[in-house]
Structure 1
Amino acid sequence: MTADTLLERITDYSNRPDPYPLYAELREAGPVVRQQDGSYLVGSYHEILALLHNPLISADARSLSTPSPDLSETALQPPFLRLDDPEHQRLRSLAMRPFGPPHSPGRVDAMRGEITRITEELLYSLRDREEIDVVDDFAYPLPVTVICRLLGVPREDEPMFRAWTDTIVAAADIGPKEDTTERDRTGDQARRELGQYLVNLAEQRRDRPAGDLLSAYINEPDPAMRLTTEELAQTTVLLLIAGHETTVNLITNGVLTLLRHRDQLERLNREPGLLPRAVEELLRYEPPVHMRERCPLADVDVAGVAVPKGTSVVLALASGNRDPKRFHDPDRFDPTRPDNEHLGFGSGIHLCYGAPLARIEAQTALGSLIPRLAPATLLQDPPPYRSNAMLRGPRHLSIAL
């Protein structure tokens, strides 16, 4: 096979359990490789990092020379994750006001006790089980419950917004260019419906704040700092989905990795103080987000390759995390790894702003699970994976306790 089919092969479901040999092939062929569909695939750490910090590289899919048919004037505006500065910075700042520093520096840290209580309740409910599915029984309900409480979304509505979320996430996946008109249409419709649901919840808190993010957004006293109805919809949709989808993968990938590396599992059980560094290593070694798409606003040179304006550029973050030019012995899972500046949360202006919350959730979840994993065994390895190539993680992870 040739290098110009790498994106097709990486996103092929048959390679979901282990795409890392293909990432190694990409770095060897690259670091920048043009694909059969005309896109460019980038797999080396330093080139990915430079592109993430390059203002000529757009996150807005409307900058593509052949944008999706749904990216029209009648389509929804993208969330700030898919916008460029200055609009990105404006919306991100408004979204951050009730969430984190400098306006709300204590909100995320104040969630520690709540996250611990939710974790303990979940584990207590599993105390008599001989077998569990780590995803359905623990890694999914924990971050979903946390983000619901943070936003102010009723936990009992989870089956409804899960269907919307699955559709939206499927529409955002990355792969070789093909006709995605129907996928884009259903994803756009799901975003509209979920956005309207969240706006309606927020309106119920108008003049009756309940201490959650929806209350804070709808009751913002400064008109200049207030989100419009459409901005509120897109921002809260983004927060709800990003607030749990990637954390599910982080926790599940963490459990799978530790059960595959018993020596490190035993060490973390003996030395729980290593857990924060172990979570950083998991973000490098088995990141929850594998790829991001970008688009040059002008012709650019990437490692000697001329990439035309308007071209799809796929940044293989997970490949960069295993680049031997940046990380010593990159295919080894090492919870004590020094200088671990991974790409697990991206980098640059779009660095994941939910990273502090995700770190607390992962550290709490894994810290509580590790003492219970010593007798555990994987019932299927590799486990079945989710279809999504961009947000890679097991769909189920069955273990015997």
Structure 2
Amino acid sequence: MSTSPEPRPGCPITGASPTATTVWNEFLDHDNRADPYPVYARLRDAAPVQRLDDGAFLVTGYDEILEVVHDPRISSNPLAGRDDTEGAAPGLTSAFVMQDPPEHDRLRRQTMRHFGPPHHAGYIDSLRDDITQTATTLIDAFPASGTLDLVEAFAYPLPVMMICDVLGVPHEDEPRFHAWSMAIIAPPEATTPEEAERLQAEASRATSELGAYLAQLAEVRRGTPQGDLLSGLVNDTGPDGAMSTSEMISTTIMLLIGGHETTVNMIANGALTLLRHPEALDRLRADPSTMPLVFEELLRLEPPAQVTPKYIALEDVRIGDVTITKGSPVWIAWAAANRDPRHFADPDRFDPERENRDHLGFGAGIHACFGAPLARLETQIALAELFSRLENVRLVEDPPPYRRNPLLRGPSRLDITFDGIKAP
């Protein structure tokens, strides 16, 4: 996105000596996408906070990340401290995930009024039957046996259909906002400065088009709410007042992309991990009540959101033995922290019964994932329905092909084969 610190996440830093930057470039290399964790370990073991050659600081340690995200001197606003805000994408920069208090707190409260407690405490759980029915319908459409791409047939459509329903986006418009969403998150996939410039231009155009689409959709609901989140954002004048149009668009784009991309990878990564551990899958089938524990371990081990590159130091901040200098970008490697051996025993082992479950798969601090309750429910239901119904399911290719994006990691396709489908 235009608000990310330079260099573009997928564009390697050149002219580096054998330092953290060299190892970081290995992480960005698509050849390591299937298993980035040895690279994370090298970075984390060298030092949990390191300065890259371009001036950005990379944080890979669990304790150090918690320090960073709870320190008000490190801003979540990518425009903080900048005078040159020209070119910032208006459809994104007003989202609360890119704001600091008090703006962040107000916008998050205004959104939560229509999504969770205290005003809609039972809303997420009320979606359980709809999610289950959607999963059942998708599985019923599978061939009776054989091979299919689980991403295309299941992991992608389920959360997309649900986020459409939650926000109030017509299902028939899904192909349009899928194209916009893919363009908006594409810049990290750039491998050259020229490609980064092209992808950024396409992302800016997609953001503007998506913003215009959502503004038009919101106007239809203004004064005639239809029970969806978009209606709530447009018509609510609660204690914090009404959102501005730009704030409403920013918030909706953020939720749309979050529900459109991360949960897809969460389901695909979870299915892949369970198929790699048949003994754990057998235990889950024997006792479906263990799914919440299994899910948390899946998210710790293979989180879709691997790195967040949007923090800015507002002043010099000492983290451990390193001073993050004022004005520097700060990159947070959540996936590296989730395997920090100082915090998790035997961190590379998939162990749904481990006692320590305080992973950072949904982030931490005031910007912990807003949609986590919905993502948890969707993924747990999706995996439970999938593996309770498919008979003798196994992977066709391991590792599968991965998307180029190093920040939102997941298979581009996940081919499975199975012998039959049980009745629901």
Structure 2 length-normalised TM:
0.89
**Structure 1, unaligned runs of 5 or more:** none
In structure 2, the residue matched to 1:146 is 162
Which one is further off, 372-381 or 286-295?
A: 372-381
The match for 1:267 among 283, 288, 295 is 283
In structure 1, the residue matched to 2:34 is 17
Following superposition, the deviation at residue 246 of structure 1 comes to 0.7
1:9-57 CA-partner distances (Å, limit 9, x unpaired): 2121111100000011011111112212221111111101111111111
| Correspondence 1:71 to 2:88 | yes
1:65-84 CA-partner distances (Å, limit 9, x unpaired): 69786238x88634211111
| Contact preservation (8 Å) 2:263, 2:379 | yes
Provide the rounded CA distance (Å) in 1 between the counterparts of 2:166 and 2:109.
18
In structure 1, the residue matched to 2:10 is none
In structure 2, the residue matched to 1:57 is 74
Q: How does 1:151-166 map to 2 (within 5 A)?
A: 151-166=167-182
Following superposition, the deviation at residue 340 of structure 1 comes to 0.5
1:105-156 CA-partner distances (Å, limit 9, x unpaired): 1211111111111011011111524111110000000000000011111111
1:230-258 CA-partner distances (Å, limit 9, x unpaired): 11111111111112311111100001001
| Contact preservation (8 Å) 2:91, 2:246 | no
Provide the rounded CA distance (Å) in 2 between the counterparts of 1:75 and 1:101.
27
Q: Helix, strand or coil: the match of 2:115?
A: coil
- Residues 100 and 177 of structure 1: CA distance in aligned 2, closer, same or farther (over 3 Å): farther
Following superposition, the deviation at residue 347 of structure 1 comes to 0.4
Provide the rounded CA distance (Å) in 2 between the counterparts of 1:142 and 1:342.
25
Q: Helix, strand or coil: the match of 1:244?
A: helix
Provide the rounded CA distance (Å) in 2 between the counterparts of 1:95 and 1:114.
22
| Contact preservation (8 Å) 2:306, 2:408 | yes
| Contact preservation (8 Å) 1:266, 1:374 | no
Which one is further off, 179-188 or 206-215?
A: 179-188
The percent identity for this pair of structures is 47
| Correspondence 1:350 to 2:391 | no
| Contact preservation (8 Å) 1:7, 1:41 | no
Q: In structure 2, what residue type is equivalent to 1:10? A: F
1:322-372 CA-partner distances (Å, limit 9, x unpaired): 001000110000111212100000000001111000000011001111224
Provide the rounded CA distance (Å) in 2 between the counterparts of 1:137 and 1:174.
24
| Correspondence 1:8 to 2:25 | yes
In structure 2, the residue matched to 1:360 is 377
| Correspondence 1:211 to 2:230 | no
Provide the rounded CA distance (Å) in 1 between the counterparts of 2:180 and 2:104.
24
Provide the rounded CA distance (Å) in 2 between the counterparts of 1:342 and 1:36.
29
The match for 2:118 among 102, 106, 111 is 102
Q: In structure 2, what residue type is equivalent to 1:327? A: F
In structure 1, the residue matched to 2:321 is 304
The match for 1:31 among 41, 48, 63 is 48
The match for 1:190 among 184, 190, 206 is 206
Provide the rounded CA distance (Å) in 2 between the counterparts of 1:65 and 1:24.
33
In structure 2, the residue matched to 1:240 is 256
In structure 2, the residue matched to 1:398 is 415
Which one is further off, 78-87 or 325-334?
A: 78-87
| Contact preservation (8 Å) 1:37, 1:177 | no
Provide the rounded CA distance (Å) in 1 between the counterparts of 2:191 and 2:201.
18
In structure 2, the residue matched to 1:339 is 356
Provide the rounded CA distance (Å) in 2 between the counterparts of 1:75 and 1:236.
9
| Contact preservation (8 Å) 2:67, 2:319 | no
Which one is further off, 356-365 or 4-13?
A: 4-13
Provide the rounded CA distance (Å) in 2 between the counterparts of 1:67 and 1:395.
36
Following superposition, the deviation at residue 186 of structure 1 comes to 2.5
Structure 1 length-normalised TM:
0.94
Following superposition, the deviation at residue 184 of structure 1 comes to 3.1
Provide the rounded CA distance (Å) in 2 between the counterparts of 1:78 and 1:225.
16
Following superposition, the deviation at residue 373 of structure 1 comes to 5.0
In structure 1, the residue matched to 2:266 is 250
**Structure 2, unaligned runs of 5 or more:** 1-17, 419-424
Following superposition, the deviation at residue 297 of structure 1 comes to 0.8
In structure 2, the residue matched to 1:323 is 340
In structure 1, the residue matched to 2:296 is 280
In structure 2, the residue matched to 1:378 is 395
Which one is further off, 143-152 or 369-378?
A: 369-378
| Correspondence 1:117 to 2:124 | no
Q: Helix, strand or coil: the match of 1:282?
A: helix
Q: In structure 2, what residue type is equivalent to 1:109? A: D
Q: Helix, strand or coil: the match of 1:313?
A: strand
Provide the rounded CA distance (Å) in 2 between the counterparts of 1:298 and 1:374.
57
| Correspondence 1:167 to 2:190 | no
Provide the rounded CA distance (Å) in 2 between the counterparts of 1:67 and 1:388.
27
Provide the rounded CA distance (Å) in 1 between the counterparts of 2:94 and 2:200.
13
Q: In structure 2, what residue type is equivalent to 1:168? A: I
Q: How many residues are aligned here? A: 399
Runs of 4+ in 1 over 2 A off after TM superposition: 1-4, 63-72, 74-78, 173-186, 221-225, 371-374
Tell me the C-alpha RMSD between the 2 structures.
2.1
Q: In structure 2, what residue type is equivalent to 1:216? A: G
| Contact preservation (8 Å) 1:44, 1:320 | yes
Q: Helix, strand or coil: the match of 2:186?
A: helix
Q: Helix, strand or coil: the match of 2:185?
A: helix
